[in-house]
Structure 1
């Protein structure tokens, strides 16, 4: 099913304008600091919108409605964990990162535990971003294949190259300003979709709520304490740990903290961006429920090949193409691309910063000149953008490989949160205790992440816990082992930096 000419014009016009707008920032005379932090001059609302856009990927745009169409609003509980994580962020994380004199999120870990901690965290952050960019570009291409009729590799290449161009030349200013625009378009597209659904119901908007209530489509899940199913409490705890990871050790969030004009503005932008995600994610879940009611009321509008619940993720793309007015469809397609592009551009820019600060300047050229720093940032952005695009191309058509990438992503990033919290909570934990804790935690994370890939003869060794508990149990293992080892291994009198922990 191909888009009408008007929708194609809207879509291509958006793509062209966003790339040109991003590249326009390259004409400014900038230092590496401007490239990484925008010179600390960016407005609060734009940084907040960028944080919001980083939360929302193309996966969220399509998966949340698909999830609500298939089941209920249990996934929305993830959003309910954000306020608590955001409070922790503005009380502790934002002041910490604005106080230390580094553009890197992992400088703190070196101060606390030594060079190995910084090297471990920064390297695995880069691996996580490659996995993240590849998965998002690939998952973005799947519905676009339905919407546009283009081949998946073509969509991946167009999206990956477009994002790489403006993220590479424009720096953090381009990323934040384009994120802000894309966030607005995303919200506008979702609102337009809801308006069409409300006005299309045969018995009026109230019919959506009647059908949803009858089918229990707005449930937040079971309130039982069950570690094998996706209950309310399991998703809430999972969301808390994921959001602490985002706010506490994700380079892309830390760069936004230090891009603000002051501590006060950094706090305001963090609260604005994170809390905005709550009503917008609720809107996406409502779209899924409304789509369920729409096709329950008018089943003849849904093709037979899409009527099975296993096709839930395809319903929203089909609705966009078949039910929305001309022009609005182009806006929705642009919104989906906006969600994916904002996430990928953030990964490109933050990864380039990590390569410069944590690797090039730390190991190879400590006294690198400013002009050379810009060259490194440009080259690193290009390499990471192309690597992420290549990762997406490798995933094409291989579903099991995609699952493996997500499992590896959990392994790459899961241990970093535990290491950070270990140093942040206690001044007594030594470098050796932290290292032992991380090894044990990563082993637990690996066991849980890879259990699904164990051969049948080893199935008895597989984890029975729900997959969402991977980061929770991995992080708790690191904390528990780190504290226990500290009791038995005396902390050395020198070698551990403690000047940046809580209470100091």
Structure 2
């Protein structure tokens, strides 16, 4: 641990104050709920694309991806490879659909299609997904800043959360989008700077990095065999396609941005801009992880320091020296991968540049959390409060409720982050939770769009079957050895794939059986 120099702290404070001032600036325009949630449909497509890119490029990417590449290989990059196909589906079908409905909520149409239960179920899934996302990002940024400052992770999350809440509540979606445009530039520059510093500090430079990476298979995309038990190329590709389909088709964070564009064409272009920016950017973070692996491979004494820190964190305070040493020897690279980037920043980045890079990581966290808070507040207001408690709410009351619920979801996100303290991998936790919560609503959404003959009863039964499948795959690893045959044989990233297909295919099958019975009765 070491304290940040005053100059670096000043840079970070100036950045945080700047974000708050942006929110205050846009607060002058937020006189009604439509401006708060849609920015009155005046945002240019390129700015929306940059905003979506910034949301994708969260601190999970900034810290989790290098940690994942350090501990393993480039298998997780296959997630990014799947994005163009999901973007094509979204731009061709989802954007025109949502723009045509005119509804700010992504889930209002589900009630029109299947009933109020479908809308409520999707909303619950979305809000749980957002809490998992915000929590993992709060945790990731606190992990980094703790290594730099020595302050407790809980305190860091609280300070961060207050700053994000202020500028999100003040500025609404327009402030979120325009700050994300700035943040997209800042965080990309920060990543390039980190990569440059690693290479310049690496004895032997790029050739040595390539030599070590090839020798230890650090550039592998995973097994290409038809294996769905381990994290093979195909498992991550399927997971990436379905989760990105959910992002572009069911996630209020993105749907809400479609409505801020001036036209459907501009909204579609924003999706493609996000893809063309994110795919190479995510590759850069995998390269950073591999470079860090090579750097610490030639400096094993630094790895020993990190392993000692991790062992002390995991053991009780009264642990003996022998217990600490035993824990250190048992640790694998996957156990401390998320610690690598913060350690490099602490020890190797010059004064002044640390402040800039921390600001980049902060921007990565703030962009995703702020958009999650805004979209969660919108969904809660439209799909829960107005639907079940006060349909005839005035616009003034609606705007107040949006502000209040934004604060509420910010606090809940902080709580989720604090609850995650101690997890091994940020990226693993986020992928698992998002797959579990997103599977149900994506399957229901696809069923409603593709099968126009499917009605309420078939959709409800199919969703119930899907929930059972999702719960079984989620909790089957905890089944005792006596009933091991009941465990799911598939990798956990297949939950969203199997869960989505269960709801969709069961719904199609039930619809066909119903139609067949009706014809027989005639």
Q: TM-score, normalised by structure 2?
A: 0.89
Q: CA deviation at 1:453?
A: 3.6
Q: CA deviation at 1:306?
A: 3.8
In structure 1, distance between residues paired with 2:475 and 2:40: 43
Report the equivalent of 1:192: 193
Matched, 1:462 2:467: no
Of 401-410 and 440-449, the range deviating more from structure 2: 401-410
The superposition leaves residues 256-279 of structure 1 with CA deviations (integer Å, 9 ceiling, x where unpaired) of 111111111111111101331100
* Other structure's SS at 1:429 match: coil
Matched, 1:320 2:345: yes
**Change in 2 beyond 3 A, CA 1:215/1:131:** closer
Instruction: Give the alignment of 1:235-384 within 5 angstroms.
Output: 235-300=236-301, 302-306=303-307, 309=333, 310-384=335-409
Query: Is residue 78–residue 237 contact of structure 2 (8 Å, CA) maintained in 1?
Result: yes
Query: Is residue 415–residue 475 contact of structure 1 (8 Å, CA) maintained in 2?
Result: yes
**Change in 2 beyond 3 A, CA 1:76/1:293:** same
Report the equivalent of 1:500: none
Q: CA deviation at 1:248?
A: 0.7
Query: Is residue 82–residue 275 contact of structure 1 (8 Å, CA) maintained in 2?
Result: no
Of 406-415 and 328-337, the range deviating more from structure 2: 406-415
In structure 1, distance between residues paired with 2:117 and 2:74: 42
Q: CA deviation at 1:456?
A: 5.1
In structure 2, distance between residues paired with 1:130 and 1:253: 16
Query: Is residue 54–residue 183 contact of structure 2 (8 Å, CA) maintained in 1?
Result: yes
Of 111-120 and 200-209, the range deviating more from structure 2: 200-209
Query: Is residue 139–residue 417 contact of structure 2 (8 Å, CA) maintained in 1?
Result: yes
Report the equivalent of 2:416: 391
Q: CA deviation at 1:481?
A: 0.8
Q: CA deviation at 1:490?
A: 4.2
Matched, 1:101 2:102: yes
* Other structure's SS at 1:205 match: helix
Q: CA deviation at 1:134?
A: 2.3
**Change in 2 beyond 3 A, CA 1:394/1:78:** closer
**Change in 2 beyond 3 A, CA 1:126/1:301:** closer
Query: Is residue 395–residue 402 contact of structure 1 (8 Å, CA) maintained in 2?
Result: no
* Other structure's SS at 1:221 match: coil
Of 215-224 and 343-352, the range deviating more from structure 2: 215-224
**Change in 2 beyond 3 A, CA 1:20/1:454:** farther
Q: What 5-or-longer segments of structure 1 have no aligned partner?
A: 494-504
Moved over 6 A (4+): 398-406
Report the equivalent of 2:64: 63
Report the equivalent of 2:325: none
Q: CA deviation at 1:409?
A: 5.2
Query: Is residue 136–residue 426 contact of structure 2 (8 Å, CA) maintained in 1?
Result: no
**Change in 2 beyond 3 A, CA 1:119/1:204:** closer
The superposition leaves residues 328-366 of structure 1 with CA deviations (integer Å, 9 ceiling, x where unpaired) of 111221222211111111111001111121122222222
Of 231-240 and 457-466, the range deviating more from structure 2: 457-466
Q: TM-score, normalised by structure 1?
A: 0.92
In structure 2, distance between residues paired with 1:290 and 1:155: 28
Q: How many residues align?
A: 493
In structure 1, distance between residues paired with 2:76 and 2:433: 22
Report the equivalent of 1:39: 40
Matched, 1:446 2:471: yes
Q: CA deviation at 1:407?
A: 5.8
Tell me how large the CA RMSD over aligned residues is: 2.4
In structure 1, distance between residues paired with 2:338 and 2:128: 28
Matched, 1:134 2:135: yes
Of 403-412 and 185-194, the range deviating more from structure 2: 403-412
Of 430-439 and 295-304, the range deviating more from structure 2: 295-304
Query: Is residue 51–residue 274 contact of structure 1 (8 Å, CA) maintained in 2?
Result: no
Query: Is residue 125–residue 440 contact of structure 2 (8 Å, CA) maintained in 1?
Result: no
Query: Is residue 82–residue 240 contact of structure 2 (8 Å, CA) maintained in 1?
Result: yes
* Other structure's SS at 2:31 match: coil
Report the equivalent of 1:427: 452
Report the equivalent of 2:316: none
Query: Is residue 140–residue 426 contact of structure 2 (8 Å, CA) maintained in 1?
Result: no
Q: CA deviation at 1:326?
A: 1.4
Report the equivalent of 1:18: 19
Query: Is residue 36–residue 255 contact of structure 1 (8 Å, CA) maintained in 2?
Result: yes
Query: Is residue 338–residue 425 contact of structure 2 (8 Å, CA) maintained in 1?
Result: no
Of 384-393 and 477-486, the range deviating more from structure 2: 384-393
Instruction: Give the alignment of 1:114-133 within 5 angstroms.
Output: 114-133=115-134
Q: CA deviation at 1:406?
A: 7.4
Instruction: Give the alignment of 1:47-58 within 5 angstroms.
Output: 47-58=48-59
Q: CA deviation at 1:368?
A: 2.1
In structure 2, distance between residues paired with 1:471 and 1:318: 34
Report the equivalent of 1:472: 497
**Change in 2 beyond 3 A, CA 1:463/1:384:** same
In structure 2, distance between residues paired with 1:165 and 1:486: 49
Matched, 1:231 2:232: yes
Matched, 1:486 2:511: yes
Of 415, 427, 439, the residue aligned with 2:440 is 415
* Other structure's SS at 1:224 match: coil
Of 421-430 and 355-364, the range deviating more from structure 2: 355-364
Report the equivalent of 1:218: 219
Q: What 5-or-longer segments of structure 2 have no aligned partner?
A: 309-331
